Every structure is written in structure tokens, then in C-alpha cells.
Amino acid sequence: MSSKELLNYDHIVIGSGLAGLFTAVQLSKLGTVAVITKRGVDESNTKYAQGGIACVMDKEDSFREHVKDTMIAGDHLCKEDVVMTIVENGPAAVNELIELGAHFTTRGEMGHSDDGKDYDLGREGGHNKRRVLHAGDITGEEVEKILINTCRSNRNITFFEYHIAIDLVTTSRLGWLGEDSVLGAYVLDIKKNLVKAFTSLSVTVATGGAGKVYLYSSNPDIACGDGVAMCYRAHVPIANMEFFQFHPTILYHPTVKSFLISEAVRGEGAILKRHDARGNLVEFMDRYHEMKSLAPRDIVARAIDNELKRSGQNCAFLDIRHKSEEFLKLRFPNIFEKCLEVGINMAKDPIPVVPAAHYCCGGVKTDINGFTGINGLYAVGEVASTGLHGANRLASNSLLEALVVAKLAAKDIKSKIKVLSDTRASGKIPTWRSGNATNSDEQVVLTHNWDEIRRFMWDYVGIFRTNKRLERAKNRIKNIRREIEKYYWDFLITQDLVELRNIASVAEIIIDSAMNRKESRGLHFNADYPQREPEMDYVDTVIQQPYT
């Protein structure tokens, strides 16, 4: 497989969630933008975000209190200056989104007796104030729709749907001397089975999360950790990948796949319960944390996992039956409808739930501007590790980070346009060459490796870890990665192969990060090192592929 097609744009954005699309909007003011997305443009983690955007919008709240809640959730690993910058810049970024047409639920729409202009601010786990802007319980879908429409009407933005980025092209990859810079990317046109070379002044990686590394996940099938893997191969440092957030409450039902029951349900008073020996539903979170069912996600997920393993039960339950059906339909229309489809009426029945892999708090190490250290290369959104989330993300801080860092990244790129232009003018990238690779009839190899990785990651590198489990996972991933790399060079590139290669790479980074952190902190719990070590406060775990 080879291609002589070379596409030139001023800027490339890889990914079409909130982070990618909002970055594209900002960069379109500087020149042409290619948005590369491996499914339809509307398929992203953002689309499935139910809760909302955490932002100080009420006079009873303050930046300092939002920072404090974020720092507590992050368990002594957040960068306070980064947290403050993102929190302080939040209202302006949210207001820009509103100006583009995004609508957030008001108090009037929720039936409160005011003029309807104030926003109905939700409260979620770890927050001590109501500060979560939401559009019912489909906030992600609302903002995604607005940004897609904005981008489609922008002449400077071009979508490349059903295109998957294979690898970044950097000056070091081409053997150039001097400071490393990004020149573009190799991209597979999935429908045409053709590899294209894209060149640009800047590349922003906004590929979202990596939930599909695990057997059970709230993420859509696209969340394969592509951006982390590509940046790792480009020698960018990857930080804190041991901190993978497991959402405590995914709907437990045999006919429903990966449906999230938003933390906002607990924010409105839902209580986590399980069956006691007599079959009665009883509360249990009061034994784990002073905030009970509103404790931070890592504590809630581990508590549910422990209760289920100890009792042998299949699921826990969210009980919000003390709220009226009218309120629940108004506040959670999507969740109410989905539960009703499987015979669960939230106003009358407790909701069966289990934890699942949800959000990657680590990622490509960047500064507050999303800059990776390689000239022209930026990472924004869940794929990045700015220092905001630390060891555990505070609920609904992720969409806030995506908005703010997208604006800061575009500003930083603008300030460096002259340098980036000079690098681009110094040479072109070669077109893709597949060498002696042939077609493969061994799809079963990819499927088997994919399933094996996801299963041992869930069993050995999940909510509860031990040294022995991590060692077993490490031994398995080393062998699988050798198989995949050989397969990669011997056979022609396909989407399945690209994703498998990335999942294997990210799995090994998570395993290595978990093995390197010899303590328990936030989302990382190792039974052999159950205590937090104070000397590790504010110390990142960094994995980097060395230059050879």
C-alpha cells in the first residue's frame, strides 16, 4: 500500500470531540484546518457526556472553592497553578460556547419560581457547591451538535471523516538534526484503504480517551488511546497513566451496553445501596467516606467493587425513589427513558449499577497551553495530562479543561507561527511506503489479541491491583506487543491493526506506570503498597520512548 497523495493545511486537528472541534474553531482564525476523525464527525466521548461543565457561575461559589475541590479530588498530585488558570478562564470559555449557540438548562425550565435566566447548576461527587452547567442529561450531545454546525459553516475547516491517523511525522523521525518539530501525519482513508500524508504548521492531538483498553467501559468503541500511542512513538513524555478512572455507575443490564448513569443522579440525592443478608436494600457508602454517596469517584468505585466482591452480588443499586417521576423526567430525560426501555422506572425502582473504565486522568504530558515540547505539536482534552486532574478527576472538570486549553493552545500557536512556518518551508515529508507488506487473512489474530489485552487489563490492572497481578500483565503484554509489531510490518495497514497496535502500546504504558508507583493514591490502588507516600506528593510518573 502506498500513496502519492500529499495534503497541505495550515493546521491539523486529530479528533472531533469538544476538545478537537473547539480547537478547530480557534485555529480557523489563523488559517485552514483539517479535522481528522476515524468515524462520523459526531462520534466521540463528548457525545456521551451526560453530566456537564463544572464552572463557577454563581455568586455563592468562588474560584478558590472550585480549586480546593479539584485539589482534594486530585490527592496531592494536581498542579495548583494549572488548576487556578483553568478555573479562572472557565467562565469566558463557557460564554464563548454559549455565544456559538449552546443552551444550558435554566432554573425556570426546571420549574423554579424565578425569572428563568439563572442556570440550573448541578452538583456532583467531590463538589461542595452546585457549579455544573448542564443541558438536561445530554450536555455532551448538545455542545457537540453546536460545534459541528459551527465548524461545517466555517470555510477554513475541512472534515476528513472515516480517516484514522497512523503516526505523526516529526523531524526526528526523518533523521533531521536540530530541535524536534512536527511536520504532519500519515492518515489511513478507511473507506478507500489508502494512506495519505498530511502536512501542516501545527498538529493538535485531541483523540480522547482509552477506555477500550479495558473489558468493561463507558467509552464508545473509538476510544483506543490512539493519541497517547502516537505521541509516545514520537518520543513525547506520557504522564500518570496509572490513574485510570472507573465510573462507579454504569447501568447493569444484559441488553444495554456501556450506558452511563451520570454522577448528577447522585448529585440530586440518589443513594448507593446493596442487598443485605435478608434481601433488604441498605446504604453502604457511609462506611467509606464522610460525603457518603457523593464521595469522589475513586472512593465510590472501590467501595462498590469491594462490596460486590465481599457479598458475591452482581451489582449495586442507585436509589432515587424519593424524587417524583415528574422531576426525574425533567432533570434526567435521557436516563429516565433508557431505564424505562429495560423496565426500570427510576421513580419506583432502584437502578442496578456496576463500575466500568471511564476516564484517563493521565496522558500526553503538556504545559497549560497543551504544548508537548515538540515544536508545533499540541494535545488537548482527555488525551493530555496538563496537571489539572492529578490522581483523580473531579467530576465535570474535563469539558471545562477542553474548552480552556483549546483557546490557550491556539493563542500559543499564533505566537509561534513564524518559527513553525520556517520549519515547514525547510522540507517536505515523504509519502507513505508499505514496503513488502501483503494482505492478511489472519483476522483471528487481531481479534484474539484485542480480547486478551482487554480481559487481563480488567483482571490485573483494574480497580484493585497487586504486584503479582501487574507482573502477570507485564509478561503478557510484552509477548503480545512483539506479535503485533511483526504483524504491523508484514501486513498491509487496516483500521483494526492500527487500533490494536495503539491499545497494546497504551496498555503497556499503564502497566509500567502502575508498577513504577509504589504507593496507593487516588485512582491507583495497590494492595502491596496501600498507603500514600507523602514524598511522592506532586511527583508525576513519566514514561518516554527514548530517542535512538
Active site residues: 297
Cα 91 to chain center, whole Å? 22
Quote the cell numbers at residue 413. Answer: 500557536
Please name which of 223, 156, 226 lies closest in space to residue 188, comparing C-alpha atoms. Answer: 226
Helices 80-99/63-73 angle, 10° precision: 120
Q: Do residues 390 and 517 lie in contact, with contact meaning Cβ atoms separated by under 8 Å?
A: no
- Bridge pairing between strands 202-205 and 238-239: unpaired
What is 117-184 written as a DSSP string? -SB--B--TT-SS--EE-STT-HHHHHHHHHHHHHHT-TTEEEEETEEEEEEEETTTTT--SS-BEEE
Write the Ramachandran bin of 193: left for phi over 0, alpha for psi from -120 to 50, otherwise beta: left
Whether the CB-CB separation of 204 and 27 falls below 8 Å is answered with yes
Cα 300 from Cα 278, distance rounded (Å): 24
Cβ-Cβ contacts under 8 Å for 290 (sequence gap 6 or more): none
Maximum Cα–Cα distance across the chain: 75
Q: How far apart are CA 310 and CA 290, in angstroms?
A: 21
All residues at 6 or more sequence positions from 11 whose CB lies less than 8 Å from its CB, including other chains: 24, 27, 30, 31, 32, 33, 34, 200, 201, 202, 203, 204, 413
| Rounded Cα–Cα distance for residues 219 and 499 (Å) | 15
Question: Nearest 5°: phi and psi at 140?
Answer: -60, -45
Q: Which CA distances in Å does 441 have to 131, 451, 471, 479, 492?
A: 53, 18, 33, 21, 11
Tell me if residue 344 falls in helix, strand or coil. coil
Helix (H) or strand (E) holding 226: helix 226-233
In 3D space, the residue among 233, 300, 216 whose CA is nearest the CA of residue 266 turns out to be 300
How many CB atoms neighbour CB 52 within 10 A? 33
